[in-house]
């Protein structure tokens, strides 16, 4: 009888303390390398610290925030990034969902296709940038050559009579920006497609069978069964993509370098420049705090919108 | 399972030895970048130094476009290098982290010296640079473009434009010419048009005068009408572009003379066009030692050695470079012809212009600001006028001086 | 009603998408085998007329690319081992223990997703230098090993291990640590495999961590070295393409070997709430 009581007490004790021991390494790393820097960053944003301030920096209140909002390059980078999120997040959502739905159809070589759709996810962002820069480079890159081929094809059909002028591709700001959107979709859709696939697989087949018996067609099945069942996956994908787009950096480094003339310069790149090339840690930290607020707001909006629709 | 773990641990240990430093003897690092062969020349000097003194100095080469940033993070990260090749811009930015070299070498034997706020010398001048005009001889000869050589009457900018415009819209030509992306290459044009930047340094400037506005406007027009390639600001490596052989001229400086030695096409240096006068601007690289590097004495000892005539001349002759050492003779070897043009440019620049530029250079952090000026001038999407850009520049420069 | 026409239409669309994902990669790999003149010719080809290894040989001889590859290998492997250990421990704690702080800790871990490295590069740099880890490979091995995704992946999977096994082991007098080593880990192999692949991939492909932590040329990782090839003399395509192919090889090998189970594993532990 006593041993049973003792082991119960021991059991309760273990339940309380042991988990913390198991969690300790992760929590230690998170605290030191993520939470602590974030707090320091907030503090820095209110000081005039530079890369060479080796002691304590001076408190300057909101001066850095005022400076950065008067900095046309920060505003441009901010606009670029917010714009990128507004365009890429919905597109990624639609594309990855459609890919997942596509892969549920009876296709030959399904496994092979699925693997290929996923493969770009495993390529590093640096290499993805190089792949697309190579394809779009110059008048004889794959892109312009294909364009020229198509042009000549339509010409031979008599549909078009002009001579071919190669596209300026990455020397044109708008083209470069759109190319970045495309590269993000290309290299990441596979990842979100898998998340949707997993969710799709957990929808009971019986629901579909019942709907068929009621005479529902494909679109109706999608609208009333598939889509609502994906609620959790949908929210997760939206939030993850938002976070990812706001963090974008290595892809742009090798793809466009931020050019031409900052047309594809996004906030992470600009924060890096200001911190490590202009040495303004205080200002860079202020930018970081602003980015944090924006990202949290976007994620919060997505999260609450999805909660609100819970009544369905 | 245990065996697998054991194997993994051993393998990892073996791999980790790759990342190991060797302790022991004081080994110094020298941060360096090369436009051409100067890295190799410095390496031969370092080898000789090791033979003579037993002290090993490792040359760490970094691409120039990351150089300053790397220096900054190293210093900030507590890993300041012992020695580094520096431009006047670097000396400006890192003034507080550089050792003063008082009594380390005889500074009266050198020109192009830089001093810190306390008036102490902070670097050993290694070479002098001058801006100048490179041309692609093959391309120009192919299209009958006329150009003056040393000794001929110097051309005007109008004549220059007329001739170079013969290269427009040719299949094997990307653009008649290309400038480097730094504002430094454009600055001589101000002096050539009779504008000194400062009337009274740091209080009254001529940056917004009609002549200055006209000069900047000319640059903007050149980018607008395709006379100059805006690849300059896409790749930010105009030397790399010029190497492709599709440009008639490259506005750069003497450091590319030895860098261009193996180009697959025939090139040379010709006199820059003149405005009201001829002018080039001078710059230079120096060797500096950093504080808190852990081997400050040894770093200074190296600089003393490097300042000795026989060693210093081995460097300037080896590349070759224009020398800042008084009384030194440099044998330019196969590059004599090109260097004579540079020497001619320097000889024909008035002292007033030279000192005016030195005043400009002493403004801390000025390089990024003037670089922005030319980048804006080249940007087809920006809407400010030349006058507005110059007014901005003037305001920003005065701002920093406060 | 699945008509033949429908199947046909869907097959075409799927194949079209397949080509969009395949062709860019194929073209890049093929281009790496072209010599310089063919690479920049004004009459371009898709597959090389002359297959050549010149670019690969060139890239391995200039610079220290073999060193960079070894560095990346070392970093990715070590970090993966650490990641497996600590994330499985955390996943286990959150899955199989009931304790008061559980929800708070989950929230804290989730919040770290909102505080990414890219946004806080400057203060993270300062922290790394504070610990004297600047320019040490350990700075890109240890901190990134703790990943919220990894923790939740393990947790999801470990939830499926029946409690009875654990409880009966306790009754038999096993220590918590023994339970972890002898019961949890062997039963979590699929999830551990998935985590291992992800972790290796993330560290192999890392760019921003090495960017702010390393400066010595000898300690560079592969991605850092590849990024340096762009923006120098324009982009040095002969080297960049070849080294990019090298970079893709380990991931390709892993992918091809584990593809089936890996995608399955992600799907399984992926989305149950």
Of B72, B73, B234, the CB nearest to A259: B234
What CATH architecture is C63-268?
Orthogonal Bundle (1.10)
- Measured distance CA(B72)–CA(A278) in Å, rounded: 10
Interchain contact, A105 vs C146, CB within 8 Å: no
Biggest CA–CA distance in chain A, Å, is: 98
Choose between A98 and C44: higher pLDDT. A98
- Measured distance CA(A189)–CA(A88) in Å, rounded: 11
Angle CA(B221)–CA(B144)–CA(B241) in degrees, nearest 5? Answer: 55
Interchain contact, C74 vs B60, CB within 8 Å: no
The whole-angstrom distance between residue C177's C-alpha and the CA centroid of its chain comes to 29
A277 contacts chain B (CB < 8 A) = yes
Q: Domain segments of chain A: what residues?
A: 71-311
Q: With H, G, I as helix, E, B as strand and everything else as coil, classify residue B294.
A: coil
Q: In this predicted model, what pLDDT tens digit does every residue of C133-182 receive, in sequence order?
A: 998 999 999 999 999 999 999 998 999 888 888 888 888 888 888 888 88
- Residue C129: list chain B partners with CB under 8 A: 76-78
Q: With H, G, I as helix, E, B as strand and everything else as coil, classify residue A49.
A: coil
B170 contacts chain C (CB < 8 A) = no
* Residue count (chain B): 402
Q: In this predicted model, what pLDDT tens digit does every residue of C189-229 receive, in sequence order?
A: 889 999 999 999 999 999 999 999 998 888 999 999 888 87
Q: With H, G, I as helix, E, B as strand and everything else as coil, classify residue B97.
A: helix
What CATH architecture is A71-311?
Orthogonal Bundle (1.10)
- Measured distance CA(A138)–CA(A131) in Å, rounded: 14
Q: CA-nearest residue of chain A to B381?
A: A261
Q: CA-nearest residue of chain C to A194?
A: C267
Q: Are B285 and B85 in contact (CB under 8 A)?
A: yes
Centre a 10 Å sphere on the Cβ of residue C242 and count the other Cβ atoms it contains. Answer: 25
Q: Are B121 and B114 in contact (CB under 8 A)?
A: yes
A259 contacts chain B (CB < 8 A) = yes
Half-sphere exposure of C183 (CA within 13 A, CB side): 20
Choose between A100 and B363: higher pLDDT. A100
Whole-number Cα distances in Å, B342 to A182, B128, B130, B136, B329? 49, 11, 7, 17, 15
- Measured distance CA(B133)–CA(A264) in Å, rounded: 33
Contacts of B339 (CB under 8 A, 6+ apart): B254, B257, B320, B322, B332
Interchain contact, A276 vs B72, CB within 8 Å: yes
- Measured distance CA(B261)–CA(B269) in Å, rounded: 12
- Measured distance CA(A25)–CA(B66) in Å, rounded: 36
B76 contacts chain A (CB < 8 A) = yes
- Residue A277: list chain B partners with CB under 8 A: 68-69, 72
Q: CA-nearest residue of chain A to B230?
A: A171
Of A123, A127, A296, the CB nearest to C114: A296
With b for 16 or more beta-carbon neighbours within 10 A and e for fewer, the A51-74 pattern comes to bebeeebeebeebbbeebeebeeb
- Measured distance CA(C59)–CA(C99) in Å, rounded: 55
- Residue B65: list chain C partners with CB under 8 A: 231-232
Q: How far is C155 from chain A (nearest CA, A)?
A: 12
Q: In this predicted model, what pLDDT tens digit does every residue of A224-266 receive, in sequence order?
A: 888 888 888 999 999 999 999 999 999 999 999 887 888 999 9
Q: Are C117 and C209 in contact (CB under 8 A)?
A: yes
pLDDT at C79: 97
Q: How far is B94 from chain A (nearest CA, A)?
A: 9
Q: Is the pLDDT of residue A2 over 70?
A: no
With b for 16 or more beta-carbon neighbours within 10 A and e for fewer, the B169-180 pattern comes to eeeebbbbbbbb
| Tokens 């200001």 sit on residue | A274
Peptide bond into B320 cis (omega under 30): yes
Q: Is the pLDDT of residue A45 over 90?
A: yes
- Digits of tens for pLDDT over chain B (402 positions)? 566 666 666 666 655 554 444 444 678 999 999 877 889 999 999 999 999 999 999 998 887 877 888 898 888 888 889 999 998 888 888 888 899 998 999 988 998 888 887 888 999 999 998 999 999 999 999 999 999 999 899 999 999 999 999 998 888 888 999 998 888 889 999 999 988 888 887 788 898 999 999 999 999 999 989 899 877 877 677 888 898 888 999 999 998 888 888 888 999 999 999 999 999 988 889 999 999 888 999 999 999 999 999 999 999 998 888 999 988 888 888 899 999 999 999 989 988 888 888 888 877 778 878 888 898 888 887 888 999 999 988 888 887 776
Interchain contact, B72 vs A170, CB within 8 Å: no
Angle CA(A296)–CA(A297)–CA(A302) in degrees, nearest 5? Answer: 100
Contacts 24+ apart (CB under 8 A), C166-169: C166/C96
pLDDT at C47: 87
pLDDT at A209: 85
- Residue B68: list chain A partners with CB under 8 A: 277
Q: In this predicted model, what pLDDT tens digit does every residue of A17-43 receive, in sequence order?
A: 888 999 999 999 999 999 999 999 999
Q: How far is B77 from chain C (nearest CA, A)?
A: 5
List the subunits that have 3+ CB pairs under 8 angstroms with A: B, C
- Tokens for C141? 């091995």
| Tokens 């979709």 sit on residue | A185
Report which DSSP code applies to B247.
Answer: E
- Residue A261: list chain B partners with CB under 8 A: 233, 375, 379-382
pLDDT at B263: 86
In 3D space, the residue among C181, C184, C179, C178 whose CA is nearest the CA of residue C158 turns out to be C184
Give chain C's radius of gyration (CA, Å): 23
B226 contacts chain C (CB < 8 A) = no
Q: Is the pLDDT of residue C21 over 90?
A: yes
Angle CA(A66)–CA(A72)–CA(A73) in degrees, nearest 5? Answer: 110
Interchain contact, C18 vs A113, CB within 8 Å: yes
The DSSP line for B46-67 is HHHHHHHH--EEEEEE--HHHH
Contacts of B151 (CB under 8 A, 6+ apart): none
The C-side interface with B (CB below 8 A) comprises 67, 70-71, 73-74, 77-78, 81, 125, 128-129, 132, 134-135, 137, 212, 215-219, 228, 231-234
| Tokens 């004889």 sit on residue | A140
Half-sphere exposure of C107 (CA within 13 A, CB side): 5
Centre a 10 Å sphere on the Cβ of residue A218 and count the other Cβ atoms it contains. Answer: 13
Contacts 24+ apart (CB under 8 A), A8-13: A11/C170
Q: Which C residues in the span 191-210 are in contact with A, Cβ-Cβ below 8 Å? A: 201, 204-205, 207-208
Centre a 10 Å sphere on the Cβ of residue A272 and count the other Cβ atoms it contains. Answer: 20
Of A170, A260, A278, the CB nearest to B233: A260
Q: How far is B110 from chain C (nearest CA, A)?
A: 33
Q: Are A271 and A230 in contact (CB under 8 A)?
A: no
Q: CA-nearest residue of chain A to C46?
A: A142
Interchain contact, A249 vs C7, CB within 8 Å: no
Q: Is the pLDDT of residue C63 over 80?
A: no
Q: Are strands B175-179 and B247-253 parallel, antiparallel or unpaired?
A: parallel
- Tokens for A110? 């399904």
In 3D space, the residue among C221, C226, C228 whose CA is nearest the CA of residue C206 turns out to be C221
Q: Are B116 and B257 in contact (CB under 8 A)?
A: no
- Measured distance CA(A218)–CA(A206) in Å, rounded: 15
Q: How far is B380 from chain A (nearest CA, A)?
A: 9
- Residue C87: list chain A partners with CB under 8 A: 26
Centre a 10 Å sphere on the Cβ of residue B3 and count the other Cβ atoms it contains. Answer: 7
Q: Are strands B27-32 and B56-61 parallel, antiparallel or unpaired?
A: parallel
- Tokens for B355? 């000192």
């Amino acid at each position: 009888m006593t041993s049973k009581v003792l082991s119960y007490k021991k059991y309760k004790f273990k339940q309380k303390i042991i988990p913390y021991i198991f969690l300790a390494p992760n929590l230690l790393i998170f605290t030191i390398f993520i939470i602590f820097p974030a707090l320091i960053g907030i503090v820095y944003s209110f000081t005039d610290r530079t890369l060479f301030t080796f002691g304590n920096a001076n408190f300057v209140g909101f001066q850095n925030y005022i400076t950065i909002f008067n900095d046309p390059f920060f505003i441009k980078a901010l606009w670029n990034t917010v714009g990128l999120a507004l365009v890429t997040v919905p597109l990624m959502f639609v594309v990855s969902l459609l890919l997942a739905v596509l892969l549920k159809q009876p296709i030959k070589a399904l496994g092979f296709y699925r693997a290929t759709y996923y493969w770009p996810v495993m390529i590093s962002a640096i290499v993805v940038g190089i792949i697309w820069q190579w394809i779009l480079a110059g008048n004889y890159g794959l892109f312009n050559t294909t364009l020229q081929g198509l042009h000549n094809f339509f010409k031979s059909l008599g549909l078009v009579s002009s001579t071919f002028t190669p596209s300026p591709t990455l020397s044109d700001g708008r083209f470069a920006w759109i190319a970045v959107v495309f590269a993000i979709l290309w290299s990441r859709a596979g990842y979100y497609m898998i998340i949707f696939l997993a969710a799709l697989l957990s929808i009971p087949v019986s629901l579909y069978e019942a709907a068929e018996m009621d005479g529902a067609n494909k679109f109706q099945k999608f609208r009333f069964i598939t889509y609502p069942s994906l609620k959790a996956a949908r929210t997760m994908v939206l939030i993850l993509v938002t976070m990812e787009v706001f963090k974008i950096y290595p892809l742009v480094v090798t793809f466009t370098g931020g050019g031409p003339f900052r047309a594809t310069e996004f906030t992470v790149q600009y924060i890096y420049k200001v911190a490590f090339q202009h040495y303004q840690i205080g200002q860079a930290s202020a930018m970081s705090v602003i980015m944090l607020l924006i990202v949290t707001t976007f994620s919060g909006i997505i999260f609450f919108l999805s909660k609100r629709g819970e009544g369905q | 399972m245990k065996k697998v773990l054991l194997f993994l641990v051993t393998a990892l240990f073996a791999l980790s030895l790759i990342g190991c430093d060797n302790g022991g003897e004081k080994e110094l690092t020298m941060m360096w970048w090369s436009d051409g062969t100067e890295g190799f020349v410095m390496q031969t000097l370092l080898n000789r130094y090791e033979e003579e003194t037993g002290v090993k100095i490792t040359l760490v080469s970094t691409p120039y476009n990351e150089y300053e940033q790397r220096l900054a993070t190293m210093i900030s990260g507590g890993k300041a290098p012992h020695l580094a090749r520096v431009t006047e811009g670097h000396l400006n930015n890192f003034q507080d982290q550089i050792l003063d070299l008082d009594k380390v070498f005889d500074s009266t034997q050198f020109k192009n010296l830089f001093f810190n706020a306390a008036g102490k010398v902070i670097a050993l001048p290694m070479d002098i640079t001058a801006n100048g005009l490179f041309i692609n001889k093959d391309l120009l000869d192919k299209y009958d473009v006329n150009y003056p050589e040393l000794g001929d009457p110097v051309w005007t900018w109008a004549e220059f434009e007329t001739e170079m415009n013969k290269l427009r819209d040719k299949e094997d030509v990307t653009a008649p010419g290309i400038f480097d992306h730094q504002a430094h290459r454009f600055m001589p044009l101000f002096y050539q048009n009779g504008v000194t930047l400062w009337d009274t340094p740091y209080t009254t400037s001529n940056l917004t005068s009609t002549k200055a506005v006209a000069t900047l406007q000319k640059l903007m027009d050149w980018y607008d009408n395709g006379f100059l390639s805006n690849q300059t600001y896409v790749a930010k490596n105009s030397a790399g572009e010029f190497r492709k052989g599709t440009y008639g001229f490259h506005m750069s400086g003497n450091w590319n003379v030895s860098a261009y030695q193996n180009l697959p096409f025939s090139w040379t240096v010709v006199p820059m066009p003149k405005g009201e006068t001829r002018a080039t601007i001078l710059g230079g690289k120096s060797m500096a030692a950093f504080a808190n590097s852990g081997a400050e004495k040894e770093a200074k000892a190296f600089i003393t050695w490097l300042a000795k005539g026989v060693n210093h001349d081995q460097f300037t002759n080896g590349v070759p470079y224009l020398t800042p050492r008084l009384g030194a003779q440099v044998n330019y070897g196969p590059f004599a012809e090109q260097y004579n043009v540079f020497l001619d440019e320097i000889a024909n620049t008035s002292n007033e212009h030279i000192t005016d530029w030195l005043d400009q250079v002493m403004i801390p952090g000025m390089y990024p600001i003037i670089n922005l000026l030319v980048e804006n001038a080249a940007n087809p999407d920006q809407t400010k006028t030349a006058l507005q850009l110059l007014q901005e520049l003037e305001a920003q420069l005065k701002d920093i001086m406060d | 009603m699945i008509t033949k026409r429908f199947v046909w239409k869907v097959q075409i669309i799927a194949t079209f998408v397949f080509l969009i994902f395949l062709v860019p990669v194929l073209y890049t790999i093929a281009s790496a085998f072209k010599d310089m003149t063919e690479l920049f010719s004004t009459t371009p080809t898709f597959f090389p007329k002359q297959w050549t290894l010149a670019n690969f040989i060139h890239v391995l001889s200039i610079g220290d690319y073999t060193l960079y590859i070894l560095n990346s290998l070392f970093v990715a492997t070590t970090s993966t081992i650490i990641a497996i250990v600590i994330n499985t421990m955390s996943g286990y704690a959150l899955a199989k223990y009931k304790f008061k702080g559980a929800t708070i800790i989950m929230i804290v871990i989730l919040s770290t997703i909102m505080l990414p490295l890219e946004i806080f590069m400057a203060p993270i740099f300062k922290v790394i230098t504070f610990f004297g880890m600047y320019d040490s490979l350990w700075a890109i091995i240890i901190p990134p090993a703790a990943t919220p995704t990894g923790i939740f992946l393990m947790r999801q999977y470990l939830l499926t291990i029946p409690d009875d096994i654990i409880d009966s082991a306790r009754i038999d007098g096993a220590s918590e640590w023994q339970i972890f080593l002898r019961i949890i880990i062997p039963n979590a192999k699929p999830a551990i495999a998935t985590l291992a692949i992800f972790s290796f991939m993330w560290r192999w492909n890392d760019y921003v961590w090495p960017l702010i932590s390393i400066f010595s040329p000898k300690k560079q990782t592969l991605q850092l070295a590849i990024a340096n090839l762009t923006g120098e003399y324009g982009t040095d395509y002969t080297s960049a393409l070849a080294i990019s192919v090298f970079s893709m090889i380990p991931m390709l090998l892993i992918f091809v070997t584990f593809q089936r189970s890996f995608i399955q594993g992600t799907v399984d532990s992926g989305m149950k709430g």
